[in-house]
Amino acid sequence: MLSIKNTRMEFVIVDIETTGGNPSNGGITEIAALIYKDGIVIDQYHSLINPERYIPGYITGLTGIDQGMVENSPTFAEVSDELLDFLKGRVFVAHNVNFDYTFIRESFRQVGISYDSAKLCTVRLSRKVFPGLGSYSLGRICEQLQIKIENRHRAFGDAEATAILFDKIYSKDGQTVLSSLKRNAGETFLPPNISKEKYMEIPEATGIYFFHDKNGQVIYVGKATNIRSRFKGHFSGNSKEKINLKSEIHDVSWQLTGSEFLAFLLELLEIKNLWPKYNKALKYKSSNWALYSYEDNAGYLRFQVSKNTNPQQALTEFDSHSEAWKFIMDKVKEFDLCPKLAGIQKSVSDCFDYKIKKCKGACCGQESAQDYNTRVNNFLDELQDQKGELLIKEEGIYPDEETALYFVNGVFAGYAFLNGQSMINTSEDVLNMIQKVKHLPETRYILRSFIPKIKSTKIQVL
């Protein structure tokens, strides 16, 4: 078996404290680095750093580093040459390495220095060499391996503990350390809590996927035509959100759809159902307004434009209050309806139109409910005629399969996977297989964007 001694390799174990935030706008407040070779620490570097920006109170509470402590400390620019000499030519090692490495590389970049190094993560290595532990945070794994940490959440104390942990990892399984350095290992982009084996299980197929935290809670929902490729894409870049997501993700699951259209629809449904913390905004506007009808105590059919709180009972839905208001005003004129009973005029007395003889008097009992409701029902019949049901056939998950997407009045209502070799022919047969979904008016926008791409032979109006 290979050993560190005969590889003549040097490792630099690094820990930093920061002001928080992401590498682009955060600052380093402390750096510690220990050179490890042949099983021992042969040199060390440690310095407080003036981040040249405000240190939040919660950071001071965690690390004990406040503004006064760093006021007379060197800036990163002032230590950059010395630090680069200490790091270059050595393998960069840290606990949750991407955080420390990305911060330091970005800090070098901001002072005009290019820094690139092979790196190792002691979280990932620990998972391989000490499997089955309850937690792989530095504090918990050191406790389980009886490693004492002096000055927790300070750079030098945490770097010393990480060096001892790294030594224990290598002493037990040096081959894992060395094989992890190989370029073709392909694991450097992976979050620390996702193994290469788990990554290789992710399908290169179309569907939706879920990121889970350590408690199994879904923290992100996405869609992709190649889920594995999309997974990798999540962890490139240095934004605060990507760094936080990388540290929080502990598992990934997925649901294949075959159809990209269905993936878009199910992603929206799952986001609206779960509201994961990393899905900040939906891409589709919500239909917040709707038209409702009810019968008053005198038997007159009335209308009301209001918030779309009960979409199953709405006559029709709108993107805005102004759109809904214009619609009902036009219909009042077209069907000779009473503005007051249509909800347009809010006066307690008769409507203004009756006074100028543009209303037949339903608002004040001068027109019978039967006569008035006849015109209202003509309007309701027109609305019903404009509604309809669609079945759209899409590719399935497997070559001999189809996906049926069911829409009612333009809103996604359900789906089914159909065996292409089966004898199912009629729309009634397909509808009996449909898996119903929650009514979300926003799915209308997905239908509008996809329907021009679908062959007319794949669309059936019911």
Give yes or no for a contact between 422 and 433, defined as CB atoms under 8 angstroms apart.
no
CB–CB of 155/46 below 8 Å?
yes
* DSSP assignments along 164-212, one per residue: HHHHHHHHHHHHHHHHHTSGGG--TTS-TTS-HHHHHHS-SSSEEEEEE
Contacts by residues 55-63 (CB-CB < 8 Å, ≥ 24 positions apart): 55/19, 55/29, 56/19, 56/20, 58/20, 59/17, 59/18, 59/19, 59/20, 59/29, 62/153, 63/17, 63/29, 63/30, 63/153, 63/154
Residue 153 bears catalytic tag:
yes
- Distance spanning both ends of the chain, measured CA to CA: 70
Q: How far apart are CA 269 and CA 254, in angstroms?
A: 14
Q: Which of 95, 153, 234, 250 is catalytic?
A: 153
CA–CA distance, 306 with 315 (Å, rounded to integer): 12
CA neighbor of 26 nearest in space, from 90, 113, 117, 102: 102
Residue 217: alpha-carbon gap to chain centroid: 13
Residues with catalytic function: 153
